[in-house]
């Protein structure tokens, strides 16, 4: 188990600089165009695939970094480049991680390559969990999966929403209810192969920010998939459901829910790192502007009103990064989140991103309000961090419940 450190080693610094170079040279110049077009930036994804950033191997190497800092370091640099394009690049990883974490070796070997395609023919994948009436309240999920024993097929019906790459993905990973009596414990994940009849794209959302990332509804109408597309397999599912029923009868359901909460906690620092990247990008633009913009015969950074804002911005960004790194290290080290440190990191970093990008717009004045400068786009992009992967309100609820041990509602 690696000791906690606040210093990247030489290998990590080399990877960081490599990602930063791609973000600066490829992502940044394309950011404004794809934000305006509100389309998936396929050429940029292809460039990322050619250099090795858009691949499972890349994310696996960062995920298995024994210090825990590989993923947050990579996320910060990519989202420093541009949040919308970065989400298009990392969105497939959400589905891939779902397969790697829950799938069999055969499923991993079969489907992961089809999620990414090749550098000459890139593909994307979608993870479909949220629904119109089941966002933070996953217990209200309605999408059903029914097993047809005679044909060894699963039949899926329902509507998913807020799906990154939804409808345009080569492979969709869909979370559905298989046992309604068990609530969230009665959910399972399914692989929907390419060109499966019955799956279609619903509404594509025109968003306030992260416009280069495709977000849409996914409609499932009598979607039939082979039994082999149940992640983990039928035997494993039946055993898990039987255990859940036994725990429910013995009154052990709360213990199971807390274990699930710990899983979500471990993924939240990555979103915090994304927020840190966007905040840092806006701060750097504002700092450079304040040093070069002159009013009344001197750079505006000479004014305390501006200088103190920049001091606060930098302090908050560094504090957010430290919370993210602490939670990331705790997750890889197997340390329990006794105070919901994962949610803390996501909550603080996302709120910092909104505040810092707003301050950057203010420092640039009228220029900050125009699309000639990137802080306007960064400010719009930052709003998503307090919403997805659990809203700030949900993070506060998780933290409050964890530190108090009370069922706060």
CATH code, domain with 311:
1.20.140.10
> Which residue has better confidence, 56 or 24?
24
How far apart, in whole angstroms, are the C-alpha atoms of residue 328 and residue 272? 10
**Of 106, 122, 138, which one is at a domain's C-terminal end?**
122
How far apart, in whole angstroms, are the C-alpha atoms of residue 349 and residue 333? 22
Is the model's pLDDT at 258 over the cut of 60? no
Residue ranges making up the domain that contains 195: 125-250
CA distances from 132 to 169, 302, 392 (A): 20, 50, 19
How far apart, in whole angstroms, are the C-alpha atoms of residue 182 and residue 57? 36
CATH code, domain with 32:
1.10.540.10
Catalytic residue among 36, 131, 389, 393: 389
pLDDT at 406: 83
Stretch among 31-40, 94-103, 369-378 having the lowest mean pLDDT: 94-103
Q: Residues 380, 207: contact at Cβ < 8 Å?
A: no
Average pLDDT on 282-306 reads 97
Crossing angle between the packed helical segments 253-292 and 304-333, to the nearest 10 degrees: 150
How far apart, in whole angstroms, are the C-alpha atoms of residue 163 and residue 92? 11
Residue 205 and residue 267 share a domain: no
- pTM for this predicted structure: 0.92
Counted domains in the chain = 3
Residue 221 and residue 260 share a domain: no
How far apart, in whole angstroms, are the C-alpha atoms of residue 211 and residue 205? 9
Average pLDDT on 147-163 reads 96
pLDDT in tens, 9-41: 999 999 999 999 999 999 999 999 999 999 999
pLDDT at 142: 92
Structural domain contains residue 233: yes
pLDDT at 249: 80
Told to judge if 389 belongs to the known catalytic residues of this protein, a careful annotator would answer yes
Average pLDDT on 129-135 reads 83
pLDDT at 261: 43
How far apart, in whole angstroms, are the C-alpha atoms of residue 346 and residue 21? 26
Residue 379 and residue 316 share a domain: yes
Query: What proportion of the chain, given as a percentage, has pLDDT over 90?
Result: 82
Name the token pair of 114: 């089809």
Name the token pair of 44: 């940029």
Residue 165 and residue 139 share a domain: yes
pLDDT at 374: 97
How far apart, in whole angstroms, are the C-alpha atoms of residue 306 and residue 360? 10
pLDDT, the chain, mean = 92
Is the model's pLDDT at 306 over the cut of 90? yes
pLDDT band for position 185 (cuts 50, 70, 90) = confident
Is the model's pLDDT at 135 over the cut of 70? no
pLDDT at 136: 66
């Amino acid at each position: 188990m690696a000791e906690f450190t606040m210093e990247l080693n030489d290998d990590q610094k080399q990877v960081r600089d490599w990602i930063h170079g791609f973000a600066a040279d490829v992502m940044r110049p394309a950011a404004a165009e794809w934000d305006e077009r509100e389309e998936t930036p396929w050429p940029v994804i292809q460039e990322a695939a050619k250099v090795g950033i858009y691949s499972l191997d890349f994310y696996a190497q960062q995920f298995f970094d024994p210090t825990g800092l590989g993923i947050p370091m990579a996320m910060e640099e990519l989202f420093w480049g541009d949040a919308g394009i970065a989400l298009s690049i990392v969105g497939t990883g959400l589905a891939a991680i779902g397969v790697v974490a829950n799938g069999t070796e055969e499923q991993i070997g079969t489907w992961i390559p089809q999620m990414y395609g090749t550098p000459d023919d890139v593909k994307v994948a979608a993870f479909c969990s949220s629904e119109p009436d089941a966002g933070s309240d996953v217990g209200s999920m309605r999408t059903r999966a029914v097993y047809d024993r005679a044909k060894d097929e699963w039949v899926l019906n329902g509507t998913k929403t807020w799906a990154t790459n939804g409808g345009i993905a080569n492979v969709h990973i869909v979370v559905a209810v298989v046992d309604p009596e068990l609530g969230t414990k009665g959910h399972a994940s399914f692989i929907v192969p390419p060109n499966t009849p019955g799956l279609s794209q619903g509404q594509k959302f025109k968003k306030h920010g992260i416009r280069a990332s495709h977000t849409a509804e996914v409609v499932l109408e009598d979607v039939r998939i082979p039994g082999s597309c149940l992640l983990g397999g039928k035997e494993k599912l039946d055993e898990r459901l039987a255990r859940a029923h036994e725990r429910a009868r013995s009154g052990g359901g709360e213990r199971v829910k807390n274990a699930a909460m710990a899983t979500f906690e471990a993924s939240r620092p990555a979103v915090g790192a994304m927020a840190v990247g966007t905040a840092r990008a806006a701060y750097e633009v504002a700092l450079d502007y304040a040093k070069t913009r002159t009013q009344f015969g001197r750079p505006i950074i000479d004014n305390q009103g501006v200088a103190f804002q920049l001091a606060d911005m930098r302090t908050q960004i560094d504090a957010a990064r430290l919370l993210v790194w602490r939670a990331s290290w705790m997750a890889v080290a197997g340390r329990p989140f006794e105070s919901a440190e994962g949610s803390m990191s996501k909550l603080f970093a996302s709120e910092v991103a909104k505040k810092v990008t707003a301050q950057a717009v203010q420092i640039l004045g009228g220029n900050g309000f125009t699309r000639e400068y990137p802080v306007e786009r960064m400010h719009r992009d930052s709003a998503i961090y307090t919403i997805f992967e659990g809203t700030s309100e949900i993070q506060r609820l998780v933290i409050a419940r964890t530190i108090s041990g009370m069922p706060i509602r």
